[in-house]
Amino acid sequence: MGAHCNGDVSLPSIHSFASSQDFRFSKHIHDNVHGNIYLDPLFLKFMDTEQFQRLRDLKQLGLAHMVYPGAVHSRFEHSLGVYWLAGEAIHKLKTHQGFELGIDCFDIRTVKLAGLLHDIGHGPYSHLFEREFLPRVHGGCKWSHEQMSVKMVDYIVDEHHIDIDSETIKRVKEMIVASCGTSQAKSSREKHFLYDIVANGRNGIDVDKFDYIVRDCRACGLGCNVEFQRIMESMRVLGDEICYRYKDYLTIYKLFATRADLYRTVYTHAKVKAIDLMVVDALVKANDSLEISSYIDDPAQYWKLDDTIIKTIETSSGQELRESRDLILRIRRRDLYQFCNEYAVPRDKLENFKDVTVQDIVCSQKNGAILREEDVVVDNVKIDLTRGKHNPLESVRFFQDYESDQKFSISDDRISHLLPTSYQDMIVRVYSKKPELVGAISEAFENFQVRTYGIKAQVHATPEKKIRGR
């Protein structure tokens, strides 16, 4: 058993760790996915700050709980889960290859700390804040939650006078942005395989996905048979890259497929997206008054921003927030933007597909100027297996068996013919902000398809009660 490493404990596995380690200086938290999670003093110094505790007020799945009532878990427990799995992953590598890889206490500490802090920069309502709200109020803004996480790490260390060396913090920040392809993520060249553990920019297989896929499936009442423990058990480092046993390629494919299923059934559920769109409109309308977007410039202010922003709007009495307040009230009363129709972009059109706009739909109406742009919402939904239109297995390196020291990719002719030949869907949806316009918007939407593709693509029939505005 390894020795203490400046606030870290060596653990070959959860069970051996739990049975033989001295917990006098550790705190344990019971997690409903991973069981007992142990935190030593260094990690507690970060966790017991108002900035980290803020993650309790950020729902992992944003507004999905309005459709899936159980989806109320937060980024707090997800971050603890990623911390725990990051420790599990690096200890498994150390157990199998520790001597040849030179894994030391510094490596273990930085990987686990990166897992703990990787989401510290997230904004309200999951990715809605970053991908939908900020582009509306900050046109060319390149802001990302990963970059804010880096700023928050520095802020926490300075604000709470945490005694930690600068090299550890530098490595942790590099690992947090490792999936972004930034120069900061690539500045340390040695032991690059360590950067694949928390946020894998090479192929998307990382402990972040292991945790949120299992956790999200459980919270939403969906079945999940992703065997992430099997994946972690079989991984080996070859040529400074984490590789996987060839016989486990279907297990890895299932990880990507389950993620895509979550996108289709939960993250981009038509009603979840309707609520998302309403909240974005409410935040945009409230931005001038509350100056929400200004928080992204200063970590000292940013940590005060969380999901309770909606309650702030809802309980306000100011006239300047009336429109935002009315939208939140509509959500409470289930008077949502009405889903009108959708279609999947034909496979042969995906290559040159351009997002459909509100103007496209409004310009496709035939019977006079009934529709105005402010009455219509278009949502272009992209669902893939993490690598866009490409097979995600193309980016994964495999080895034949544990005696092998050669890594290789799997060519298409060696992959099961039961796997799909297309790895990306693009779905275009339209919504009406006013129930009485559902029929007119649906008709314009169908007209647009005929004009764009020459034929009437198959769409969902619009329910009569929606057309009549009931």
State yes or no: is 145 an active-site residue. yes
Q: How far is CA 361 from CA 32, 337, 354, 372, 445, in A?
A: 46, 16, 14, 10, 6
Q: Catalytic one among 34, 91, 118, 145?
A: 145
Query: What CA–CA distance (Å, rounded) separates 287 from 399?
Result: 52
Query: What CA–CA distance (Å, rounded) separates 82 from 118?
Result: 9
Q: Which helix (H) or strand (E) covers residue 357, if one does?
A: none
The answer to whether 325 touches 315, Cβ cutoff 8 Å, is no
Closest CA to 246 of 362, 408, 133, 388: 408
Query: What CA–CA distance (Å, rounded) separates 110 from 171?
Result: 7
Rounded to 5°, the CA angle 213-219-220 comes to 90
Q: Which helix (H) or strand (E) covers residue 86, if one does?
A: helix 75-101
Q: Indicate the SS3 state at residue 432.
A: strand
Query: What CA–CA distance (Å, rounded) separates 320 from 80?
Result: 39
The answer to whether 30 touches 36, Cβ cutoff 8 Å, is yes
Residues involved in catalysis: 145
